[in-house]
Amino acid sequence: MEAGGGCGLTRRQLLRMIGASAGAAAMYQAMSGLGLAAESSFRGPPSLQGAPRGASVLVLGAGLAGMVAAYELRRAGYEVQLLEYNGRAGGRNWSLRGGDRYAELGGAAQHCRFAAGQYFNPGPWRLPYHHHGILHYCRVLGVRLEAFVQTNYNAYLHNTEAYGGKPQRFRAVKADYQGHVAELLAKAAQGGALDGRLTREDQERLLESLRRWGALDRNYAYAAGRASSERRGYARDPGGGASARPAFSQPLRLEDLLGSRLWENLAEGDAYEMQTPLFQPVGGMGAIGEAFACELGPLIRYHAKVVEIRQDERGVTAWYEDARRPGGARRSARADWCVCTIPLSVLGQIPMNVGAAMAEAIAAVPYAAAVKIGLQFKRRFWEQDEQIYGGITYTDLPIGTIGYPSSGYHDGGKAVLLGAYAWGTDAMELTAMAPEERVRQAVAQGARIHPQYPREFDNGVAVAWHRAPFTLGCFALWSEEARAKHYDDLCAIDGRIVLAGEHASYLPAWQEGAVTSALDAIGRLHRRAAAGGAA
């Protein structure tokens, strides 16, 4: 076969067509296609030029909001100090690794016994591609990123009441739902049901698109055959050599699929914050907090439990105790201004002289319950036996989620997966248990999906966020009503104090909320400071 023969004319046409492409019109058109300017509320760190000479800021909390604030304020010339409850920075940005100890409210202590290199993120575990603020700081701080697998077509959807409790591969459920929907709509169109809504020409285009998108056959049916197997997978995969002919698989019946409710989690990966690609820092989410701590090290006072916050006309004072010796001696820290990032669940219990509006806002927001459990197994059976590399299995069991690690693929030795990510009532029940009982629960429930669990289980840790002493909950659970009434008051500068954190954002639970909230807060605080304190 000779290449390119007899294509001269077409080639000239092609060249003409392309000729205009570098021109100004195409340029402008393409430029206006770039989305960032239009969509993101992140415009880089705010310009903080003109910091008053010698001005100081006290930052309460060395989580991401506090450290972003401290990092930028110091860069702008402010004198900055941070008080942090824990013996480490990061807050909910946190990775538990072998050798770590964690004591929760009530005293139960856990000693993490993971193998070297293994970790578990009790808090955030993924970075969406459009969370420009947190990604900016990963870049600035040199935190290496790798892909986080959210949607895994080979992971499971599981409902204890459906298909005899047998987990179904995501790819099969997705292909079959999409195929049946496409067939139903195609048949409805052919029956005239869309005649009032679409022109005949658009209906022809719709049918053509449905056939391709839904993997329908020539008769617009979704049925066993090459088209559907090329989506849902084969009964026997195509292979090589003499006995390699594939066997087609049989789609799930629409009626069964609808009754199974497995469609509930089909669109998880379509959510703006869950869309491919997502990222994770290499070595654990905690790498971000750790990188910040390297930058800000000398400015952070650890084990500092804030017990009172007072502002006057000239500054703000925070009293704190050693968190390891409750009721011990009080010390104080003082600055001209204060950025307070303490979670509302904790802050509400700390005396602070702010106005009624902010005080009411602080009291108005409950915190979401969540429990995450990290389980170490003796081997990566999910990869070795079931070809699940990263991604998530969803189940209606209380554990809710099994998350497989998005790194170390094919590694030998022990490995850690997320054995539970429980919410609401399920989380509350797990919270009420001792940590080791939570781990037992996660193993017993997970065994219904992965029968290898009992034999391969090694050890585990369980973090119940309502028992985390530094947050007393997972994240701010804003109702629409509370937001309408209190959000602006929560964010407004009160005298010399401004709040920041995911709770002061439209992105609750996300690190991006903490970052953008901190940047917004220090921008406003700076303008006030530069104006000599005038509102």
Adjacent-strand bridge partners of 403: 392, 418
**532 touches a second copy (CB under 8 A):** no
Nearest distance from C-beta of residue 123 to a second copy, angstroms: 17
Residues within window 345-364 making contact with a second copy, judged by CB under 8 A: 345
Q: Scanning residues 286 to 315, which ones bind a second copy (CB under 8 A)?
A: none
Q: Which of 52, 77, 108, 206 binds a second copy (CB under 8 A)?
A: 206
Lookup result for tokens 């066997």: 247
Residues of span 434-453 touching a second copy by CB under 8 A: 441, 444-445, 447-451, 453
User: Which of these segments, 17-25, 52-60, 83-91, 117-125, binds a second copy (CB under 8 A)?
Assistant: 17-25
For a second copy, the binding residue among 126, 231, 372, 414 (CB under 8 A) is: 231
* Of the candidate residues 63, 90, 374, 398, the single one contacting a second copy (CB under 8 A): 398
Choose among 465, 369, 375: nearest CA to 419.
Answer: 375
Among 129, 325, 355, 485, binds a second copy (CB under 8 A): 129
CA 276, 279, 283, 285 torsion-angle sign: negative
CB of 463 to a second copy, least distance (A): 12
- Rounded distance, CA 191 to CA 180, Å? 16
Cβ–Cβ < 8 Å for 399, 447: no
266 near a second copy (CB under 8 A): yes
Cα gap 398→414, rounded to integer Å: 25
Interaction between residue 145 and a second copy (CB under 8 A): yes
Q: Which amino acid is at 244?
A: A
Q: How far is CA 450 from CA 415, 421, 457, 460, 479, in A?
A: 15, 16, 11, 16, 37
Q: Is 469 in the site for a second copy (CB under 8 A)?
A: no
- CA gyration radius, the chain: 28
279 vs 292, which CB is nearer to a second copy?
A: 279
Contact residue for a second copy among 113, 303, 310, 524 (CB under 8 A): 524
CB of 427 to a second copy, least distance (A): 8
Q: Does 238 bind a second copy (CB under 8 A)?
A: yes
Place of tokens 């004591």: 103
Candidate ranges 50-58, 82-90, 315-323, 429-437; the one touching a second copy (CB under 8 A):
429-437
Residues 65-94 close enough to bind a second copy by CB under 8 A = none
CA pair distance 121, 511, nearest whole angstrom: 13
395 counts as binding a second copy under rule CB under 8 A: no
Nearest-CA neighbor of 249 among 228, 218, 263? 228
Distance in Å, CB of 293 to a second copy, minimum: 20
Q: How far is CA 534 from CA 132, 334, 520, in A?
A: 32, 20, 18
Of the residues 50, 161, 264, 312, which one makes contact with a second copy according to CB under 8 A: 264
SS3 304: strand
Element (H, E) at 421: strand 415-423
Structure tokens at 478: 């804003």
Per CB under 8 A, the list member of 161, 312, 360, 488 interacting with a second copy is 488
Residues 407-426 that bind a second copy (CB under 8 A): 409-410, 425
Which part of the chain contacts a second copy (CB under 8 A), choosing from 114-122, 151-159, 355-363, 414-422?
151-159
Cα–Cα separations (whole angstroms), residue 381 to 129, 406, 418: 30, 14, 14
Q: Does the footprint of a second copy cover residue 47 (CB under 8 A)?
A: no
Which of 51, 80, 112, 138 touches a second copy (CB under 8 A)? Answer: 138
392 binds a second copy, rule: CB under 8 A: no
Please report how close the Cβ of residue 376 comes to a second copy at its closest, in angstroms. Answer: 18
Q: Phi first, then psi: give them for residue 184, nearest 5 degrees.
A: -60, -45
* Shortest Å distance, C-beta 435 to a second copy: 13
Least spacing, CB of residue 241 vs a second copy, in Å: 2
Q: By CB under 8 A, which span of 50-58, 311-319, 330-338, 499-507 interacts with a second copy?
A: 499-507
Q: Tell me which residue of 386, 371, 408, 372 sits closest to 453, measured CA to CA.
A: 386
Of residues 100 and 183, the one with the C-beta less far from a second copy? 183
Q: Would you count residue 233 as binding a second copy (CB under 8 A)?
A: yes
Among 295, 350, 520, 527, binds a second copy (CB under 8 A): 520
Cβ distance to a second copy smaller for residue 301 or 469: 469
- Among 62, 48, 78, 59, smallest CA distance to 338 is for 59
The residues in 239-258 that bind a second copy, with binding defined as CB under 8 A, are 239-246, 254-255, 258
> Using CA atoms, how far apart are residues 251 and 229, in angstroms rounded to an integer?
8
CA-nearest of 67, 8, 155 to 449 is 155
Q: Which of 108, 115, 181, 307 binds a second copy (CB under 8 A)?
A: 181
Instruction: State the CB neighbour count (10 A cutoff) for residue 379.
Output: 16
Closest listed residue to residue 525, CA positions, set 41, 83, 57: 57
